[in-house]
Structure 1
């Protein structure tokens, strides 16, 4: 588990190692951090099918080191964990934070089963730490959901947000008992109900939530999201002496967005893809930002709706990448 596979970015032919050797039915998420100005790291977590009935999970630590003039110099990948996952329902969403990963599983096709969220410590679940190595009986925490868990976020302070139905729920993982029972046997017609510590069904749309941002000056973590009438910020105060204050929504920008289909949200910017088709870029500020700036830009797209797909948004440069009829088009805002 301690082998490092380097990728020399500036050398031809490039040295590489295939990470995914499976079908194309996989989901991927990552946790980004920067340990130093000369290095960028992220933990890459994916779940994929090795065969029609076998699913597996891998967690990799990927590091990009910079040389002179901050140019990429070396890319390396370290395999941290690998283990099988139960083939139970449809994998709706993934999340990773530190040593924990979470799966959102939709099971509404089976009337005798409920959907659920499973959180796992990937270092404990790693096949090198268990016998037999293919066993599914590793420790996990289960949250029963009565709606599909379409979007989940692991949060600092042993919390997780679950967007199910039209509501966002936040759960305290420290209050949930750990089990090694495989979910198909655990989730039955009479499941154990897990009450959230906070819920909201009035503010943001599903899958519009940004990644988690840290605000050291205010000891909070923050996310942004989009609704039909503007942009909202979700503020969670970091736990102090075991006390976990309730989250709160704050309005960041007033704007009417009636025909929105896709979203990419950042800390001070969001990109909206409408049905027209067109792109809308929203610039907004938090209440404690030094500058109180807001702006709304629109770019009309060629073609018909359904032929373009937003793939990436770089908040720093203001560039938005669109896949349009098989081509990658970059807009610079």
Structure 2
């Protein structure tokens, strides 16, 4: 049993200050990922700072038309909120495709975004893992890696990011609000996560002691047609083998606004910038969609056992794009 301190702060500022006084501390909210890693001995914090009861559990309409989601809003409540279902259906769909009903009732918005990018080798203390112990090697490369990355991986790590919600938020151009020792800041979700490089132990660009306080869903993507599609080994409680979030607005037959992000393919939610650039201003249709998706997936570097992910992601993306595009009027 590894001992640790337990702190229940009364405010965000108290939480940040408590983190500063306990080097090696972790914030705790729903605990659906952290507690598992504690049990396995993968995480060994010096202190747990319980932020689950801070007043960060509201979903608020802002004057500019955006929606502010507090960091401790439960995944199930966020998915069911009528404003989210109506204005940002891709987010509601992504949340409902993740984990199980019981876990969604406990998991929080901030905790979901900060769950560790991981694979089974990360959770097995008997196997080498650069993410768990930098410099020890990556057992997955020569081991079982059917579920692992095909984009953006490195010799140090081939794990994939597990969050469905983060993929939808990346496509929506959502931003994360952070509060830390140096004050507050906002970071786009698409820029919040790191590729593994030589430091796979660092999942995000979060700074020491920073706490996620909210997620901002922008007015610019509110009401724009959107959808999430996920392929997995079983119907529930399974990470994505490949998933896609698409935000697509078509005006007069031309793509006027687009956001595309893949899940299950990389160490972070993969914003498909090549696809978006190819589609913006192009006629909306199967040929344009197929060419634009191919441009993105041409950068894939499959491993021995996971080349199937490339056509799987391609087919999911084309299905969603074609479904969201309006059917041309018959003359």
The TM-score by the shorter chain falls in which range? under 0.3
Q: Identify which of structures 1 and 2 has the higher relative contact order when contacts are C-alpha pairs closer than 8 Å and 6+ apart.
A: 2
Q: TM-score under structure 2 normalisation?
A: 0.25
Q: TM-score under structure 1 normalisation?
A: 0.25
Q: Which has the higher strand share?
A: 1
User: Larger C-alpha radius of gyration, 1 or 2?
Assistant: 1
